[in-house]
Amino acid sequence: MKKISVIVPCYNEEETIELYYKEMQKVMKKIKNTEFELIFINDGSSDKTLDILRNLSKNKDVRYISFSRNFGKEAGIYAGLKYATGDYIGLMDVDLQDPPEMLIDMYNILEEGEYDCVATRRVSREGEPPIRSFFARLYYKIINKISKTEIVDGARDFRLMTRQMVNSILEVTEYNRFSIGIFRWVGYKTKWLEYKNVERVAGTTKWSFWKLFLYSLESIVAFSTVPLSIASIFGILFCFVAFIIILIIIVRTLIFGDPTSGWPSMACIMFLIGGIQLLCTGIIGQYLSKTYLEVKNRPVYIVKETEKGLEK
């Protein structure tokens, strides 16, 4: 009998957890001859999420991990992958934006044995502000130009993977975790299923536009070093331009003498070069700060409590 683990990160989700579990019970019944383990991760919620999970864990297919504070969804996913004991391991949001019935297809595809992972991507962005969709598209264009790891447009975390693939993911122990990139980076054969955007059943999204923006910058730093070469490119370009300007000035001075003029253009050039220098220093700073965090080697998450009681 195969065991399926499903990892469900929850942050202030008191309104959705029970709805989710109800839907999942229907699906779990439909997948025959398997055993399920739902691993909920309470990511430092400040509402009743933990109480609900404690209660729910009386069911033998429910486990939970509770963090000592909010560590972010990526940390939740990592913790879940570590705790999961299944032969197949899935990731899902608790807000029912990931249609549970799709698990049935995913399971059947993995059982055929050709694929190591069945992942999902959203093909429509209905119910999303147009400005957000615009920036999302722009983001995928940029990151796929500058990263060797392909980041699939609209890819969700919702997926089911084999134990072998999860073991490989766990070998990637970096602190700045950008899971969608890591899933791609470890390789293996992935089948993509497409579906239309579903709005969350209750509660609100935890992602503001600003948070998403910062997250996208982080993913670029995590999966590309191209921005680091911007400084060199500008450097070469500016040296070349400066060389030509020097020649022009020498020739002009020799021919026309040296009237003092042109200070406004000089000021503009100083601002431009100063700005570009700061930009490049900033980019280096981004990478340096990430390196600093990696070197400190802090744990990605801290568990306070699991369904077995307080962590020792």
**Cα torsion for 38, 43, 45, 49, to the nearest 10°?**
0
The verdict on 80 binding ligand UDP (CB under 6 A) reads no
- Quick check: helix, strand or coil at residue 284? helix
Site for ligand UDP in 1-60 (CB under 6 A): 9-11, 13, 43
C-beta of 287: minimal distance to ligand UDP in Å? 24
Residues 93, 115, 160, 179: which binds ligand UDP (CB under 6 A)? 93
Q: Phi and psi of 113, rounded to 5°?
A: 95, -5
CA 15, 21, 22, 24 dihedral sign is positive
C-beta of 199: minimal distance to Mg ion in Å? 8
Whether the Cβ atoms of residue 195 and residue 8 lie closer than 8 Å to each other: no
Amino acid letter for position 91: L
Contact region with ligand UDP (CB under 6 A), list: 55-63, 89-97, 102-110, 165-173: 89-97
Q: Phi and psi of 64, rounded to 5°?
A: -145, 155
Residues 42, 45, 97, 120: which binds Mg ion (CB under 5 A)? 97
How far, in Å, CA of 20 to CA of 6, rounded? 12
- Judging by beta carbons within 10 Å of its beta carbon (0-12, 13-18, 19+), is residue 48 exposed, middle or buried? middle
Q: Pick from ligand UDP, Mg ion, none: which does 54 bind, CB < 5 to 8 A by kind?
A: none
Q: Pick from Mg ion, ligand UDP, none: which does 207 bind, CB < 5 to 8 A by kind?
A: ligand UDP
Total binding residues for ligand UDP by CB under 6 A?
A: 17
Residues 70, 144, 176, 190: which binds ligand UDP (CB under 6 A)? 70
Residues 13, 15, 43, 95: which binds Mg ion (CB under 5 A)? 95
C-beta of 309: minimal distance to ligand UDP in Å? 22
Whether the Cβ atoms of residue 8 and residue 41 lie closer than 8 Å to each other: yes
Q: Phi and psi of 5, rounded to 5°?
A: -100, 135
- Quick check: helix, strand or coil at residue 195? strand
x-or-dash string of contact with ligand UDP, 191-230, rule CB under 6 A? ---------x----xxx-----------------------
Sorted by sequence, the CB contacts under 8 Å of residue 228 that are 6+ apart come out as: 283, 284, 287
Helix axes 209-223, 130-146, angle to 10 degrees: 10
In terms of CB distance, is 13 or 116 closer to ligand UDP? 13
Whether the Cβ atoms of residue 64 and residue 53 lie closer than 8 Å to each other: yes
Q: Pick from ligand UDP, Mg ion, none: which does 10 bind, CB < 5 to 8 A by kind?
A: ligand UDP
C-beta of 210: minimal distance to Mg ion in Å? 17
Residues 39, 62, 63, 73: which binds ligand UDP (CB under 6 A)? 73
- Where do contacts with ligand UDP occur on this chain (CB under 6 A)? 9-11, 13, 43, 70, 72-73, 76, 93-95, 97, 200, 205-207
- Where do contacts with Mg ion occur on this chain (CB under 5 A)? 93, 95, 97, 200
